[in-house]
Structure 1
Amino acid sequence: MHDEISRLARSVASPRATLAGVVGDLSQPVLVVGSTVPVGQLEVLFRRPEVSCVVVQDEADPRRTGMVTRAGLAAALTGRLGYGRAVLDRKPTASIADWSPLVVPPGLPVSEVALSAMARVDERRYDDVLVAGPTWSSATTADVMRSLVAALSDRSTHDPLTRLPTRAATWHALAHRCGLLRGSGTRVVLLLLDVRDMAGLNARHGQGGGDAVLAVLAGRLQAALPRGCEAGRVDGDRFAVLATLPAMDDITAAASADALRQHVLGELAVPPEDLEPGRWPALHSTVVWSVAGVGNPDELVREAERRLLQSAGGLARAS
């Protein structure tokens, strides 16, 4: 099991993956006790359900830090013959502390924490992780793993560069919208936006420069969407916007769909103030909409792609 978790952590720990965040985001304040505190008093602290571990500070050497977990305390108090509590009640906490816990800085990526946690010996593998900061805190290994799984799930549906839904996720959302029509008078709108001369932009400013423009463009697009719309990155330099129109006649639907297209293009036309105008791309665009109460997602995508190709070809001939 821990080998599978380690592979997951390595996957999420790729250079461009920061979705899982840092361990400081998962940590909670933890109690600190002196190493001479009797185990009997320590047991009282663990009666509070929110306490999963405590930090043990060596009173003889402040540089030495240990930890006692709930499971570790329970095992010690049970003892091999069942006499642990009677033997340990007045002994110092130092006698049952783990003096080599996993201690990490708050800014360490969760993926790296998971790798270190899984590298521990079997009996310590799922112990809490201590987070050293201005004050001590801890993160449970379960929370670390949940964060990894959430990051992997997010990566499978969202583009890591633009943070927009991927093509698969976008077309799934389109199919879902079409499925909700069910003979009603509503319609689904699909708007496609294609960055003009993306290859030239990369050639002039490098791949990193092109990626930076796409990321800013995606953020602007997301901010420009009216309520109820959603956007996705459906190709390297292509974005899609989905919308649902209320019941209306064909002429009004056509006007509404084009109004959405013009609104989005208007919001994206002006380059950001901190970006030189020559680096801000122009866009090809096209919009299609379904028949009232009927929506075939595949047909909408094919028609939008066909119109976008015709639009780009016409502009190329004109230039």
Structure 2
Amino acid sequence: MHDEIARLARHVAPRRATRVASAGELAQPVLVVGSTLPVGQLEVIFRRPEVGSVAVQDDAAPTRTGIVTRAGLAAALTGRLGYGRAVLERRPTGAVADWSPLVVEQGTALADVAALAMARTAERRYDDVLVSGPAAWGAASTADVMRAVVAELAERSTHDPLTLLPGRSATWYALRHRCSLVRGGATRVVLVLLDVRDMSRLNAEHGQDAGDAVLAELAARIGAALPAGCEVGRVEGDGFAVLATLPAMDDIQAAASADALRQHVLAHLAAPSDGFDPAAWPALHSAAAWSVAGAADADELVAQAERRLRRERRAAVLV
């Protein structure tokens, strides 16, 4: 059955973008030129399409750094009367540099960078940001900074801050998406629900912090245990949901594969993680539900899995 688990998901979950938290992670290396470089030579540098800006080091005062952006150079070369290139071609780059750019350290949070950028004057607000480093300079466009900040805010609104997993609404949205992809076909959608047995006792005996640490560790281990293409979300305070899509198979095979996935996850969670008190490591309730061929319905899958999970809880009490 392990081979069947490995083939579970023909639907591959959308890959999440890498989270960018600081200016150094977003910045790209930037060329540094001397302030006495003729503007004509600077223009040649900007003919390379990948060059969006260059840093300028003052040859007379090496600790002073400015910036020339592509837009800024174009405006200077055009000039008010169209004679900018003729006037500036032999002038030093320092004459067209912005000597008061926004400069931040590599570790500066992107939210702080965005706030500083938006505080600039209107004509400079969207200029590139210089990022200073121990050995080299970098630059980041304000547009990229704002996009990264918006992406981070969107991530926070849909993901659980403790486990970093998608929350309830995002998980059920992903389930509906999976179901929409398999309607009318022979593939199946599987939903596995898991919850911690007696979470209230764990918190009471070991403390809320210990309970939170257990939930975060469970989330990480579930994610690490899943075959490619499966997804996991936190749908209750102590509950998780695993989503998968099965290849075409008959009802008996679907039931066996869904239960194999459930057992596969439980097996990876049975032993306490290193550094955790074995007495605080919980057992889990679990239940699996799978769609019928050609008619995957998210609401029905959730209802079916929850019914089975309630039966599992009742059976555990009687033991």
TM-score, length-scaled by structure 1: 0.85
RMSD (CA atoms): 2.3
- Aligned AA for 2:261? L
Q: 1:34 to 1:269 in 2, by over 3 A?
A: same
Count how many residue pairs are aligned between Structure 1 and Structure 2.
301
User: Structure 1 residues 283, 94: closer, same or farther in 2, change over 3 A?
Assistant: same
2:235 aligned counterpart, secondary structure? strand
CA distance change for structure 1 residues 30 and 177 in 2, over 3 Å: closer, same or farther? closer
Higher relative contact order (CA 8 A, sep 6+): 2
Q: 1:35 to 1:248 in 2, by over 3 A?
A: closer
Deviating more after overlay: 261-270 vs 303-312: 303-312
Cα distance change, pair 191–50 in 1 and its aligned pair in 2 (3 A):
same
Amino acid of the structure 2 residue aligned with 1:69 = T
Unpaired runs of at least 5, structure 1 = 1-17
Deviations 1:260-299 (A, max 9, x none): 2222111111111222212322111112223333232212
Name the residue aligned to 2:213: 212
Structure 2 unmatched runs, 5+? 1-17
Single out whichever of 262-271 and 52-61 deviates more from structure 2.
Answer: 52-61
Please state if 1:26 is matched with 2:47: no
Distance in 2, matches of 1:247 and 1:53, equals 53
Tell me the secondary structure at the aligned position of residue 165 of structure 2.
coil
The answer to whether 1:300 aligns with 2:295 is no
Rate the CA distance shift 1:127–1:283 in 2: closer, same or farther, 3 A: same
Query: 1:57 is aligned with what amino acid?
Result: Q
Residue 49 of structure 1: CA displacement?
1.8
The equivalent residue for 2:84 is 84
Looking at structure 2, the residues matched to 81 and 150 of structure 1 have their Cα atoms a distance apart, in angstroms, of 42
The amino acid that maps onto 1:94 is G
The residue aligned with 1:229 is 230
Tell me, yes or no, if structure 1 residue 162 matches structure 2 residue 163.
yes
Q: State the Cα distance separating 1:317 from its structure 2 match.
A: 4.8
Compared CA separation, residues 93 and 206, structure 1 to 2 (3 A): farther
Say if 1:242 and 1:140 are closer, same or farther in 2 by CA, change over 3 A.
Answer: same
Structure 2: distance between partners of 1:181 and 1:55: 53
- Report whether the alignment pairs 1:200 with 2:201: yes
In structure 1, the residue corresponding to 2:76 is in which secondary structure? helix
Normalised to the residue count of structure 2, the TM-score between the two structures is: 0.85
Look up the SS of the partner of 1:220 in the other structure: helix
**1:105-143 Cα shifts (integer Å, max 9, x gaps):** 112122211111111111110001101011111111122
Instruction: Output one character per residue of 1:141-170: Cα deviation in whole Å (capped at 9) or x when no partner.
Output: 122122223323433443333232222222
Match of 1:4 in 2: none
> Which string of whole-angstrom CA distances, capped at 9 and with x for unpartnered residues, describes residues 78-103 of structure 1?
22333323332332222222111111
Match of 1:68 in 2: 68
Q: Could you tell me how far apart the structure 1 residues matched to 2:85 and 2:295 are?
A: 72
Q: Helix, strand or coil: the match of 1:302?
A: helix
Contact 1:20/1:109 (CA < 8 Å) preserved in 2? no
Structure-to-structure mapping, 1:1-319, within 5 angstroms: 19-133=19-133, 134-318=135-319
Q: Is the 8 A contact 2:20 2:26 kept in 1?
A: no
How high is the sequence identity, in percent, across the aligned residues?
68
SS, match of residue 124 in structure 1: coil
Contact 2:188/2:248, CA 8 A, preserved across alignment = yes
Stretch deviating more after TM superposition (76-85 or 123-132): 76-85
Cα distance in 2 for residues equivalent to 1:82 and 1:184:
64
- Contact 1:170/1:232 (CA < 8 Å) preserved in 2? yes
